Amino acid sequence: MVVAALLASVQMAAGQGGMAPADSARLEVAVDSSAKHIVLMVGPFHLVDRSGEDTHAHSGAGHDTPVYHFDWPIEGWLRGFELEVVDGQGNVLPRHIMHHMIMVNFDRRQLIYPAAERILGAGSETADYTLPKSIGVPVRLGSDLGMYIAWHNDTGEPIDDVYFRMALEWTPRNQMPQPVSSLPVYFDVNLTVGGTNTYDIPPGRSEKSYEFTLPVSGRLLGVGGHMHDYGAEVRLEDAESGKVITSLSAESDAGGRLLGMERNLFGVSGRGKKLEANHRYRVVGVYQNPTGHTIDLGAMAHMVGLFVPDDLKKWPALDPTDPEFQKDLASLADQNSKIMQMDHMPATDEDDHGDHTQEGDDGE
């Protein structure tokens, strides 16, 4: 079996809203200890019709719900999710009206950014997934989690009494053997924490890159990528040797419109790609713009994945007083200025269709 750390190629809904004021919406948490499910119900929402609006335009203008906070109710590992959209009677509604959702862990920071961890995300086209039993994302009991949803109702009529329902699969602390702890990682070519990660695309072929070091060594289990139209490739390089560690190609139509991104799975049983602490790495985004003019803020390029730190205790501690962290919190609290950072998070599934699986290349 292959672990797929994949990128949900989420496209943002265009324009304003998609959601009428939803003052009555709230999040409820239930734990099913026998099925090992944490069930989140968020709603009710009244969704206005947004059919005819371009969901591909990626404007990012405030169409998300607020962030709904909850206390993580178990000690153990998160291993997957199943989600559905239902009405107040439990009838299943078209799932694709849930354009994307993001879950945030406010009690852990990201590996290379002093921003809150985006622990999972799903787009309308993201399949439910479960990690193999051998792998999980550790989450401490009582952690401050939050989630928000971007709705896009394109059914042609308003829908009332809409609920988002998500069952999170978890593994208890006492399970033996314990899962390997893997954490989401995010590498963006142009991120300002609490700000934006979009940038202009000049005519022709262009590259933008960002160099970083990791505070702890570990193994990258797999990666997905995200780009916009005219994207060609996002890749991770060893900035000291110049060697390409992994590269993800964009899949586009003849006009350059992005259809999706490749994923690279280094294998679970496998060890993944070894990354060293205090070694320089570089994430590079490549665009090929045939229009002859600059496309303002047309680009995004990032990679997301699952990373197994050699020593979890060396994961950088969250510093709530860090001005960048505070900017991140402020951007999450203000839905009208919500940035698109991490709007496309790693999901993981067992469907390796179209993936490049690489074995025996673990650098060890």
Residues that bind Cu ion (CB under 5 A): 300
Torsion angle, alpha carbons of 249, 251, 252, 256, to 10: -10
| Contact assessment for residue 344 and residue 304, using Cβ atoms and an 8 Å cutoff | yes
C-alpha–C-alpha distance, residues 207 and 172, integer Å: 44
Nearer Cβ to Cu ion (7/120): 7
Quote the least distance from Cβ 204 to Cu ion, whole Å. Answer: 21
Quote the least distance from Cβ 228 to Cu ion, whole Å. Answer: 6
C-alpha–C-alpha distance, residues 263 and 251, integer Å: 11
Look up residue 225 and give its two tokens: 């990528």
Reduced 3-state DSSP string for 55-96 = CCCCCCCCCECCCEEEECCCCEEEEEEEEEEEECCCCEECHH
**Burial (Cβ within 10 Å: 0-12, 13-18, ≥19) of residue 30:** exposed
Quote the least distance from Cβ 226 to Cu ion, whole Å. Answer: 6
Residue 186 to residues 82, 167, 326, Cα–Cα distance (Å): 23, 24, 19
C-alpha–C-alpha distance, residues 119 and 342, integer Å: 10
Question: Which residue is nearest to Cu ion, using beta carbons?
Answer: 300
What is the side-by-side strand order in the sheet with 116-123?
68-71, 144-151, 98-109, 116-123
Quote the least distance from Cβ 58 to Cu ion, whole Å. Answer: 5
C-alpha–C-alpha distance, residues 198 and 298, integer Å: 7
Quote the least distance from Cβ 61 to Cu ion, whole Å. Answer: 13
Specify the residue for token string 């402020």.
Answer: 330
Quote the least distance from Cβ 341 to Cu ion, whole Å. Answer: 9
Quote the least distance from Cβ 282 to Cu ion, whole Å. Answer: 20
**Burial (Cβ within 10 Å: 0-12, 13-18, ≥19) of residue 77:** buried
Nearer Cβ to Cu ion (59/335): 59
Residues in contact with 119: Cβ distance below 8 Å, sequence separation at least 6, in sequence order: 78, 103, 104, 105, 137, 139, 145, 184, 345
- The count of residues in the chain is 364
Nearer Cβ to Cu ion (149/300): 300
Residue 257 to residues 104, 213, 227, 248, Cα–Cα distance (Å): 30, 33, 10, 16
> Helices (H) and strands (E) in the chain — how many of each?
1, 27
Quote the least distance from Cβ 198 to Cu ion, whole Å. Answer: 7
Quote the least distance from Cβ 175 to Cu ion, whole Å. Answer: 37
Quote the least distance from Cβ 299 to Cu ion, whole Å. Answer: 9
